[in-house]
Chains A and B, each alone.
Chain A
Amino acid sequence: MSDDYLTDALRNPRGRDGRAPDVFRRGGWVPMREYPDDELVDFVIVGTGAGGGPLACRLAEAGFSVVAFDAGAWWRPLEEFASDEAHQEKLFWTGERLCDGDNPLKLGTNNSGRAVGGSTVHFAMVSLRFRPEWFKSRTLLGYGLDWPLDWQDMWRYYTEVEQALKISGPVRYPWGPKRPRYPYRQHEVNAPGLALARACEAMGIAWAPTPLATVSAPREHSPPCVYRGFCVTGCATNAKQSGLITWIPWAVKAGAEIRDLAMVGRIETGEDGLASGVHYHREGEWRFQRARNVVVAGYAIETPRLLLNSANSRYPDGLANSSGLVGKNLMVHTNQAVWGTLEEEVRWYKGPPSLSLSEHWNYEDSGKDFFGGYAFMSQGPLPAAWAGAQTGNHGLWGQALVDEMQKYNHQVGLKIVGETLPQERNCVTLADERDEFGLPVARVTWSECDNDRRLVNHAVDFMRRGLEGIDARDIWAEADGTAHLMGTARMGSDPATSVVNADCRSWDIPNLWICDGSVFPTSGGVNPSETIQAIALRTANRIRELARRGEL
């Protein structure tokens, strides 16, 4: 038998003929409503990840006609996900992107996905809330800029996300204002997680089991996590509460249509200046779907790429770009780590990669020579990813590499999710090169600033002392590394300095919305997925309200 069937989803669209793959049953299908191209649907959503997934679900539930597009495949996790790092690269956005700037980004694995469900199919499931002050970081903390959102409002949507995804989190979370109990209990902390705990206790700061979007007890279609450790290459058990097995099936059930392997290349605008639909490539041809509203949810690279590529005579600089900020202020999270070797056997390949964390430096403001914060988490890279750290940052090869890799089962590490500041020079633009659809590929420019560097230095120094505190040997620091993408279409209260308003509605074109990580004005020191989903739920609510008032 050949392994071709494992990549069939990359070649043959599955959301068609009135049915969609049932991700919970081998070979199963569920009925799916379909809309013809010439039907004027209420909402077209471009992208089905953390932004597009929940939005499609809630809008369909509210009775809107919804068609959501994804450039990627519609996988069946139980049948098509191998326990293999290399093979599972099929989940990543591996199309060409050019990276430059002082610190060219490495993309692909930990910061972009191309599949129905988006990056949530391979994210590390870390589900954290923003610190309340970050929504007003300019006013309260003196850096970045204020969000047009209220933290208490967001707190409610966070709760909604946590309930929907049955987040497994600690009974008591040590940082920030009181939050409702997580619907599922914390997972057992594995050896690398306990190493972080001991390091924190040695440093006198708090730690906690990480709130994760993988269930610690059975849920209807999900068995409890079996701790197989291949989370970031896609969960083959459906324990992970990815968009692929939550929002998307709920959306389909509520009447939304999902079109997989459908690459949206351009948004069309009509004579009234409003968006009229999208041109998309599917099954070998370019087609056009009419729509009353278009939501772009392609994440911080594809979203500006699409908006910029949709430039026309009326909007020569791209859509929603009167501020000139589309594609600007790209932010990442610094993702530096400190690694060491323990006497004991750690075997960090077991369990989700980050089972414990400390948000101490997100909530503590004194003793910092930088703005912003960072969380740090325990680590469990699989062999190829670990070799990547050794060759990329450690610069090892030859016998030195072989010898170092032999310590695999004794290795521990602490890694940050560090806030970076928005800078206009960090941006996504269109390159001259073209992709397989003839669309210009994205050029991604990123350079760290002094503040970013100071934050990293602080973190590396602190975590190094943590590892020293638990008697780790051969400690070394990973010098670069970034994760997550934010910015490039930020929200704000002023059309001159932002692309969308608090409802994710673009200032320029009232029926064009942007709903994903690109609307973040600042990046915060935590993984963005829960905030993206909370924003999506809020947007859905606001759209319902606006529709009720006839303001859509």
Chain B
Amino acid sequence: MKLIYPGYDVLSKRHSQSWDEPTRQVIDARLAIGGAPRFLNEAQWQTLDAVCQRILPQPIDRPPVPLAALVDNKLLNDRGDGYRDARLPPLRQAWQLGLTALDAEAQALDGRGFTGLTAAQQDALLSAMQRNELKHSVWKSMPCVVFFSHRLIHDITSAYYAHPTAWSEIGFGGPANPRGYVRMGPDSRDPWEPMAAKPGAQRKAEKRNRHVG
């Protein structure tokens, strides 16, 4: 994938005036999350990992954001969102049920689990879930579409876009305290913001993006 903000790494601002101590602590803790599951069982973990790769495909030329581990961590902490669609069970149960049901749907399809499907098959199954077409008895009373939108893509994408790698990818300025921003108008960039590569000016952007601290 062609980078829009070549050479930009929001973490290079870590020691600048744009980051304060609380933010450094919080991001450090987030970056330390990874490795084996601490809440989900092995089968659920494998399914989740496969789902994450379909919901948020990541380029192979950089270390991936450990999405499954981040979701698992959310489940471990069991921190809710402050609301729950009444059709959903609580956070942990919803995920356990949803992953098991998704695997069961895959089993019913061709006898192997979700991880055994091809990417296209996996996408098809996820699309069916989004269209509320999955009706396996394992889902119990939980409509698959509610699980899909409230839990599955919600939790996976929030984990991804809470990660510095994603911030760098979309050209977000990142943490900003005490230093905020000065140039507020259109097409204006403070020197501590990422520069998009204009056609033919890849080098210039790369150079500027190395000095955003």
Cβ of B143 to closest chain A Cβ, rounded Å: 12
A492 within 8 A of B: no
Complex formed: what's the CA distance from A350 to B181 in Å? Answer: 6
- Interface-located stretch among B36-44, B186-194, B199-207: B186-194
Question: Majority SS of interface residues in chain B?
Answer: loop
CB contacts (< 8 Å) of B172 on chain A: these are: 349, 382-383, 408-409
Say whether A191 contacts B185, CB under 8 Å.
yes
Say whether A443 contacts B180, CB under 8 Å.
no
Say whether B187 contacts A344, CB under 8 Å.
yes
Q: Which of B25, B158, B189 contacts A6 (CB 8 A)?
A: B25
CB contacts (< 8 Å) of B90 on chain A: these are: 96
CB contacts (< 8 Å) of B187 on chain A: these are: 191, 344-345
Say whether B83 contacts A97, CB under 8 Å.
yes
Known A107-B83, A228-B180; contact A80-B25, beta-carbon cutoff 8 A: no
Known A82-B26, A345-B196, A398-B55; contact A108-B162, beta-carbon cutoff 8 A: no
- Interface-located stretch among A98-106, A140-148, A245-253, A512-520: A98-106
Cβ of B191 to closest chain A Cβ, rounded Å: 13
- Interface-located stretch among A86-94, A121-129, A279-287, A365-373: A86-94
Say whether A82 contacts B169, CB under 8 Å.
no
Chain B residue total in the interface (Cβ 8 A)? 61
Give the residue among A189, A345, A386 with the most B Cβ atoms within 10 A: A345
A256 within 8 A of B: no
Chain A residue total in the interface (Cβ 8 A)? 73
Complex formed: what's the CA distance from A408 to B172 in Å? Answer: 8
Mark out the residues of chain A between 213 and 255 whose CB falls within 8 Å of any chain B CB in the assembled complex: 225-230, 236-237
Listed in ascending order, the chain B residues whose CB lies under 8 Å from chain A are 4, 19-20, 22-23, 25-30, 54-57, 79-87, 90, 123, 126, 130, 149, 153-154, 157-158, 160-162, 166-167, 169-189, 193, 196
22 contacts between A and B (CB under 8 A): A82-B175, A83-B174, A86-B162, A104-B86, A106-B83, A107-B83, A190-B184, A226-B176, A228-B177, A228-B180, A347-B173, A347-B188, A347-B189, A347-B193, A350-B173, A350-B181, A351-B184, A387-B161, A398-B123, A402-B56, A405-B161, A408-B170
Listed in ascending order, the chain A residues whose CB lies under 8 Å from chain B are 1-3, 6, 79-87, 89, 92-100, 104-109, 112, 188-191, 194-195, 225-230, 236-237, 342, 344-347, 349-351, 382-384, 386-388, 390-392, 395, 397-399, 401-402, 405-406, 408-409, 443-444
